[in-house]
Structure 1
């Protein structure tokens, strides 16, 4: 099977294949990126930002085409694909509009006589290694701020997102990013290592698995390159009480199965207080019953999309079966389709033992895992008992009570009475095995900046 391909996960059909990069092409890419950087950094920040704003306009103009591409590539519904295109557009536009003000030089007080200025300067060519679950959004939050800053981008996308990856480069160049300023590469693992080692590459950003993050982080560390890693998550959604249990359960379910459950900061663990647990689980069971596989390009009510690949569906199925073997209860769903399609029916899992392997695993699919607790402290202890630390949320009619618990979550993003606040201006990232660094918002543009001290003595 071709490594870089478009393969419809609903049918297993390979729609299109692509040639992998040769080592000579990788060298040409590195040279072009370095050359473009030396020209791009000399343009005014206003000129760079104007090109990025034009990228956002082209995303809007081509949104129907862009949405269909990723629906076929990785299986999300047309409606969710359009949502993603719009979110990516908003991030790109945010940096095109606000990026220049976020990197304005500013003076700081100094005890040494003179003027101390902090500058925000680009560092060079950057390598991005991006995943398949959000083919545009993941790229937007890495590429847009760095292009405004003056860096250039080499983008290695997931092997099943080849057509959308090429289309992003096409849009970048049409918008005015110089040839070489944003390049897609169909690279191998060895070629990624070569690029990280090359002195023309000054940093690397990866969104992906813990395993991939460890490999990329090791390469980056060996060659003294800055890296940003956004890895897995096993986010807790703590529900302390509610005057609308069914409503909170519905919100929890909808977010958990969004994008086929293939979301880093999805609410993968529902931690529910005893008083409302039975009603909460009953509502989840009701929502999961009777669902049928559907066509992601024309999804009907009561239907669900395929996962990104047959292998992904088989992995989630095996994880659920392992949890059941360890003592968990599969309340509903959890059926792997026959044949080459990647369908896995959305599931509700309860009673996962805390001493089992399954308890510590991230399930990257439409599986709601629910835990019963009897006190706020037990809820907090369970929420923090995870190797991951991406995000977390706490729900209660008593906002102060929820805020007290949220303030003690060992995560990069806490939320009260909403599962995940997501917008271009809000930073995204985690702690522990969820990685390090931040993307989006006012701090996302600084990760690959040379925050240089400029001092002029009096």
Structure 2
């Protein structure tokens, strides 16, 4: 496994994959650790999760620089990611016991009936490169607090982040085997999923990867959470606050170099305000600074890998050949590293890549519609259903439209984002299950019904 700096196209580090013997040792250690870890008082587990936040805060600059070096995230956004990771750890350190406390349910006056939330065992977490710390810790913090252990299989191009996260938890005081990074290929990964000692799996990644994991977990009857791709609509109605919509829209499209599942990708604008929005949005995209992600003034850094840049370029070229027009950008940048111009496409054919596929990079697709009804119909005309936003000065109207948008999350006058206090996940080909909030910590627990009757039975 070799990591490459996407800004310079130069190698960073080479890592050896774990062989079968090492993998067997790690899985067994995780299973053994679960026995003692799940029996520890939840207050102790919470305290250790809170300790992760302390380690992250102490080393924020180092971890942010590592992310920027391995996947090209602008340094200020990398720092913000570490801060958000600290936040989610602090959140579960404070609330895990509350979320997992027994729920008393009255059924009979002489019976004690309740629902308890009990850990399942080792969890396999298959995580992507685009938010290399956040994606891991938003899963690990609640899962560990709940009493499960975690096996992490991270994306190859952020292997340095993967091994560093393991050290973070060790520095926070977690025992060996509570959290383990495994460096394996896809074949070995599916063997781990099928292993009887592994209780469940979660994946954030592509639809293809999600189907593969779901096939294996389904065959082995194991619970799964999948957070997959997105083609989020950004719906601009005829009474939208246009100046702010243009500004936030550009941010929503290019944050993390445009490589986010919940990034706004399809900008659906009612024709009465289309020209004004289009012109303002293009100005915002053209004002972005593209360059070295270690420079705090950079807005957009490189695409994370050479193959991903090739894919994005092909998608844009095919969309242009099909009839789309580039209002700005449209090409890779002729410089060292994997850079693509911030791009705005208009007249996008519905069956072109920019019309129906997920473009993972700073490329926005504009669509003009006649009215609100057509906007909603187009927003929902996609295989994905992760996030959506609608822009209007009429808040009642915005809330009503939000309910009509087919997505796991709908925002009014705000970019789509994840928040520790709110459940996060998608529908349709964007996956199933939820992370974060109370829903997230309960996903990988046994929701057990416990009924206690007196020895002499219940009165009729």
Whether 1:316 aligns to 2:299 is no
Q: Does 1:397 align with 2:396?
A: no
Q: Is contact 1:246-1:279 (8 Å) kept?
A: no
Q: 5 Å matches for 1:290-439?
A: 293-300=290-297, 304-338=300-334, 341-439=337-435
CA separation in 1, counterparts of 2:54 and 2:368? 47
Within-5 A mapping of 1:245-260: 245-260=242-257
Q: Of 188, 195, 212, which residue of structure 1 is paired with 2:192?
A: 195
SS in 1 for 2:448: strand
**Is the CA contact 1:84–1:134 (under 8 Å) kept in the aligned structure 2?**
yes
What is the root-mean-square deviation in Å for CA atoms of aligned residues? 1.4
Deviates more, 1:125-134 or 1:401-410: 401-410
- Give yes or no for contact 2:355–2:365 (8 Å, CA) kept in 1: no
State the number of aligned residues: 454
For residues 6-55 of structure 1, the C-alpha deviation after alignment (integer angstroms, 9 at most, x for no partner) is 21101110011100110111100101100110110110000011000001
Q: Is the 8 A contact 2:240 2:391 kept in 1?
A: no
Within the alignment, does 1:116 sit opposite 2:113 as a pair?
A: yes
Q: Secondary structure, in 3 states, of the residue corresponding to 1:407?
A: helix
Residues 35-74 of structure 1: matches in 2 within 5 Å?
35-74=32-71
Corresponding residue for residue 20 of structure 1: 17
Find the aligned partners of 1:290 and 1:456 in 2 and give their Cα distance. 66
Between 197-206 and 331-340, report the one with greater CA deviation. 331-340
Determine the structure 1 residue equivalent to 2:95. 98
Superposed CA deviations along residues 354-395 of structure 1, whole A, max 9, x for unmatched, are 244542101111111111111110001000000000011111
TM-score (norm. length: structure 1):
0.96
> Displacement of 1:247 after TM fit?
2.3
**What does the per-residue CA deviation read over 1:397-424, in whole Å, with 9 as the maximum and x for residues that have no partner?**
1111122211111111111111224321
Structure 1 residue runs of 4+, over 6 Å off? none
Name structure 2 gaps, 5 residues minimum.
455-460
Which of the numbers 144, 149, 154 marks the counterpart of 1:152?
149
Gaps of 5+ in 1: none
Match of 2:139 in 1: 142
Larger CA deviation: 57-66 vs 234-243: 234-243
Query: What is the match of residue 457 of structure 2?
Result: none
CA contact (8 A) 1:425 1:440 kept: yes
Distance 2:417 2:186 in 1: 34
Aligned partners of 1:104 and 1:120 also within 8 Å: yes
Deviation at 1:290, TM superposition (A): 6.5
